[in-house]
């Protein structure tokens, strides 16, 4: 039993029959004319989810994935098709067309309905990528067992639904009714991306290695304080630079309009100001929006997903690997969707401040790790979100790893991302010619994109995913 849903309520339909957990393969007798026939058969077996393989869809004459995806329209995106239309006399369908996920219920009939999933049509998750029915079923049940709830519709919805479910256990959390400007701006907290000029000794190093921090956003959820209820505005008429500004309280989550280290005034989240003060930087705050009522609201969500992540990493079967791939999207997309503009401003799922605080906490945690690397004499030459880059004469990335970070699969650990990339062809990204002479000033975003492009060229790899924030987190 998983959150009120038995794992036996999930089935996979393939050309050879219906696959159910711990049950012999069940052949399909009779023609399936439309999705209503799937509904009748699936409900007869007590299913609440029926997953349809691409092979079965193809044999049934349904559109090929590439063709259907091009034709999707509306919200949710769908394609009108007789396979759905011919069943609408007796059934409600949402959406009323072919889609990655179609919810069905019988008109005039109370009780649980049926979700029919077409993973081959889904661009947001990898359930349908080259897997047979048995592997898909095993992956779905492994995911549900680890996370404590079945996958529903998309990674982001599954993750946010779990946030809401676990959040209810923590008591009432009133929505914010008046969002300040920094909360509504998605760029209030930006990804950490920087490169520095290579020191003369570094320009002659042989290799570049990079190390990606595991699930950095998820790890930040463990102890980040998040606001509850309405904000309180704090202002002062005094000159912040002359000591007349708003006093900083590190216990209060919120937004602080401040000059940090003499830079131009801008909005910062609490974890960023905390980190600036740790580094001894001057902070002058002119006004703030803070929550006086707050908690570690995602601590239980973090704990559930931390344990799920460990369980799925321990499952080295093909099904376990597939479930893990989708699981990584579950927390990353859920965190990103907290700022989704499709939410109503008073929705409990619209918490752009939570997303900002998580990103700021993750960046502060990485900054502390980099400081420890600095102290050990292994200063990174570049940082891209949660990935640090170093240069070395050691060809082996494990041997070259800075001693202050731990390689492994656990939260807080790092994993090798790029290993043994020859440095000389990458020098143009650092504004250097091959012989090491400076040519152009470094421009951070442009330089990082150039670096990733050169790494792809040198290593002959496919898409380099480090530029995408929130992949593994």
Could you read off the pLDDT of 223-258 as tens digits, one per residue? 999 999 888 998 875 555 555 589 999 999 999 999
The answer to whether residue 251 sits within a structural domain is: yes
Closest C-alpha to 39, from 105, 121, 119, 128: 105
Q: Strand, coil or helix: what is 271?
A: helix
pLDDT at 347: 76
Q: 147, 171, 201: which is the final residue of a domain?
A: 147
Contact present, 327 and 312 (Cβ < 8 Å): yes
pLDDT at 245: 85
The answer to whether residue 123 sits within a structural domain is: yes
The answer to whether residue 457 sits within a structural domain is: yes
Q: At what angle do helices 299-314 and 155-168 cross, to 10 degrees?
A: 130
**Do 111 and 24 fall into the same domain?**
yes
* Interval 16-28 mean pLDDT: 92
Beta-bridge partner residues of 209: 390
The answer to whether residue 325 sits within a structural domain is: no
Question: How far apart are alpha carbons 328 and 334 in whole angstroms?
Answer: 10
**Do 29 and 129 fall into the same domain?**
yes
**Do 199 and 261 fall into the same domain?**
no
Could you read off the pLDDT of 248-301 as tens digits, one per residue? 999 999 999 999 999 999 999 999 999 999 999 999 999 999 999 999 999 999
The answer to whether residue 210 sits within a structural domain is: yes
**Do 116 and 210 fall into the same domain?**
no
**Do 111 and 207 fall into the same domain?**
no
Q: 90, 113, 147: which is the final residue of a domain?
A: 147
**Do 263 and 197 fall into the same domain?**
no
Rg (CA), the chain: 25
Closest C-alpha to 357, from 183, 142, 211: 183
Contact present, 28 and 95 (Cβ < 8 Å): no
The answer to whether residue 355 sits within a structural domain is: no
The answer to whether residue 354 sits within a structural domain is: no
How many distinct structural domains can be found in the chain? 3
The answer to whether residue 178 sits within a structural domain is: no
**Do 213 and 272 fall into the same domain?**
no
Could you read off the pLDDT of 396-442 as tens digits, one per residue? 999 999 999 999 999 999 999 999 999 999 999 988 654 444 444 44
**Do 249 and 201 fall into the same domain?**
no
Q: State the residue range of the domain holding 251.
A: 232-290
* Interval 85-101 mean pLDDT: 93
**Do 120 and 215 fall into the same domain?**
no
pLDDT at 437: 41
**Do 78 and 201 fall into the same domain?**
no
**Do 401 and 454 fall into the same domain?**
yes
**Do 49 and 108 fall into the same domain?**
yes
Q: 290, 307, 334: which is the final residue of a domain?
A: 290
Question: How far apart are alpha carbons 381 and 202 in whole angstroms?
Answer: 9
């Amino acid at each position: 039993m998983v959150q009120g849903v038995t794992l036996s309520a999930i089935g996979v339909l393939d050309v050879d029959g219906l696959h159910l957990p711990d049950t012999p393969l069940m052949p399909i007798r009779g023609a399936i004319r439309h999705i209503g026939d799937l509904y009748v058969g699936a409900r007869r077996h007590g299913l609440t989810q029926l997953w349809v393989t691409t092979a079965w869809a193809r044999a049934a004459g349904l559109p090929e994935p590439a063709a259907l995806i091009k034709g999707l329209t509306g919200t949710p995106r769908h394609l009108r098709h007789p396979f759905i239309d011919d069943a609408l006399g007796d059934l409600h369908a949402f959406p009323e067309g072919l889609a990655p996920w179609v919810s069905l219920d019988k008109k005039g009939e109370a009780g649980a309905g049926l979700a029919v999933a077409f993973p081959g049509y889904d661009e947001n998750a990898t359930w349908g990528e080259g897997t047979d029915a048995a592997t898909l079923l095993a992956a779905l049940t492994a995911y549900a067992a680890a996370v404590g709830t079945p996958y529903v519709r998309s990674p982001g919805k599954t993750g946010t639904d779990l946030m809401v479910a676990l959040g209810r256990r923590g008591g009432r959390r009133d929505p914010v009714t008046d969002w300040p400007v920094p909360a509504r701006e998605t760029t209030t907290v930006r990804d950490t991306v920087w490169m520095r000029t290579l020191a003369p000794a570094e320009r002659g190093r042989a290799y570049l290695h990079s190390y990606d921090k595991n699930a950095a956003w998820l790890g930040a959820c463990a102890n980040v304080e998040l606001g509850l209820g309405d904000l309180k505005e704090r202002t002062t008429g005094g000159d912040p630079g002359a000591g007349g500004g708003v006093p900083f309280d590190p216990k209060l989550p919120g937004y602080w309009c401040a000059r940090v280290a003499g830079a131009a005034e801008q909005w910062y989240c609490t974890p960023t100001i905390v980190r600036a003060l740790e580094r001894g930087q001057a902070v002058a705050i002119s006004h703030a929006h803070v929550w006086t009522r707050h908690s570690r609201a995602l601590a239980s969500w973090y704990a559930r997903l931390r344990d799920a992540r460990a369980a799925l990493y321990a499952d080295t079967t093909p099904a376990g690997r597939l479930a893990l791939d989708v699981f990584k999207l579950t927390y990353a997309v859920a965190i990103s969707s907290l700022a989704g503009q499709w939410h109503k401003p008073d929705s409990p799922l619209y918490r752009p401040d939570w997303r900002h605080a998580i990103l700021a906490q993750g960046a502060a945690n990485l900054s502390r790790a980099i400081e420890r690397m600095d102290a050990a004499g292994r200063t990174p030459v570049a940082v891209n979100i949660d990935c640090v880059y170093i240069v070395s004469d050691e060809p082996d990335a494990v041997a070259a790893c800075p001693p202050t970070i731990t390689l492994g699969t656990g939260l807080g650990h790092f994993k090798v991302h790029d290993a043994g990339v020859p440095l000389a062809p990458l020098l143009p990204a650092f504004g250097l010619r091959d012989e090491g002479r400076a040519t152009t000033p470094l421009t951070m975003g442009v330089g990082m994109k150039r670096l990733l492009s050169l790494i792809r060229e040198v290593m002959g790899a496919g898409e380099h995913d480090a530029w995408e924030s929130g992949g593994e987190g």
